[in-house]
Amino acid sequence: MTKTLDLKRLRADFPALEKSMRGHDLIYFDNSATSLKPLPVISAVEEYYREYSANIHRGVYEMSGRATMAYDRAREAVKRLINGTDGTGELIFTRGTTESINMVAAGWGNANIGSGDEIVISPLDHHSNIVPWQQLARRTGAILKHIPLTAGGSITREAVDRTISSATRFVSITAMSNVTGHMPPVDYIVERAHAVGARVLLDGAQFVSHHPTDVKALGCDFLAFSGHKMCGPTGIGALYGTMDALEEMDPVQFGGDMISRVTKDDAVWAHIPERFEGGTPNVAGAIGMGVAADYLSAVDLGAVAEHEKVMFHRMYTALRELGGITIYGDPPADGAEDFRGGIVSFNLDGAHPNDVGTLLDQQGIAVRTGFHCAQPLMDHFGITGTVRASFYLYNTEEEIDRFITALQRIRPLLS
């Protein structure tokens, strides 16, 4: 049974929400860029640096042992969040989604992609899930294919059928757009890709932090996501992979902790996941990400998704009623299965998005403006950027009402 969010209690966990901005109570609507951090995460990172700031897997002394145990517990906590603890896969700590995707493009792609092979991506994706595959195609002579979008920027099953072919070797697709919140039919994409023997990576940067995630149910070969978008620290993320997919992947960083034996002329790699974690890791970040995973599990991500659905529809309806605004993305249908994530991207007619964002900042409202690292999608819409409001578990409907009032105030200044 899905819980109901206790917003008053939750908001008390986030000290940033006690601050003001430009003399107003802060409204933080830039959660797609990064989330605010709760006290348990802040305390865990501080505790590591204050009490046992040692390296892991190397020292026989107490502090190192404590750090190693905390790091290993964090890995298990993050795996539990995505239901990846059945032993058929493994979780690798990285610097974030970008590094995770690049690691697969280089480590798996270089070893398994050749001239004439097809790599399937989409214009919906973040640059971090486009550019690594462009580079892999250039290195190998592979063919890069894009799943076509509807006019509103969605991916349909029919478009997937037209794109994936018997020559497809790899598919990399977002689980949720960072611009419109559109969630492609990833279950169908995985099914179609596996039917032709292709591997699939899901960019879960926007999805994992907002929705219950089950890697076994998704069926993907790889899942990449970041700690800082799910209440954790910056500079830490994860790549989850099935063991058979990871065994096909070469390491891309070489050095300490990723080897089991080195001679003057050769080296033998360590077991997975250490094989892919060369060098001193971000121990504090991993610990913080683990605490964030436990925090979100306790809150219930099903409740978070339901809350954001309410927030999205309130914002979407209010903007439509306000008029003189273009909202990007196909209109949401009534059914829950057609729900877009808690992101609304729009433009105020006749106004530059940066001007809108600057005037909202003057009223204590934080939004993101620009092309959101998604220029192919901006090209699809025929624009250079948008204003983006994105919600999370601590945002309230009252904040949306204040946001709409702020837009009404600034409109005469921009006409």
Helix (H, G, I), strand (E, B) or coil at 387: strand
Size (the chain), residues = 415
CA–CA separation, 306 and 3 (whole Å):
10
What phi, psi does 53 have (nearest 5°)? -80, 70
CA–CA separation, 33 and 366 (whole Å):
11
Amino acid identity at 303: A
Give me the active site residues, please. Answer: 373
Residues 213/155, Cβ–Cβ less than 8 Å:
no
Q: Where are the beta strands (DSSP E) in 129-284?
A: 143-146, 168-174, 199-203, 222-226, 237-242, 259-262, 267-269
List the structure tokens of 93: 């700590």
Helix (H) or strand (E) holding 37: none
Which residues, at least 6 apart from 296, have a Cβ–Cβ distance to it below 8 Å?
Answer: 81, 209, 230, 231, 304
CA–CA separation, 68 and 58 (whole Å):
9
Which residues, at least 6 apart from 132, have a Cβ–Cβ distance to it below 8 Å?
Answer: 101, 102, 105, 106
Q: Which of 114, 111, 131, 135 is nearest to 123 (CA)?
A: 131
Burial classification of residue 33, based on how many CB atoms lie within 10 Å of its CB (0-12 exposed, 13-18 middle, 19 or more buried): middle
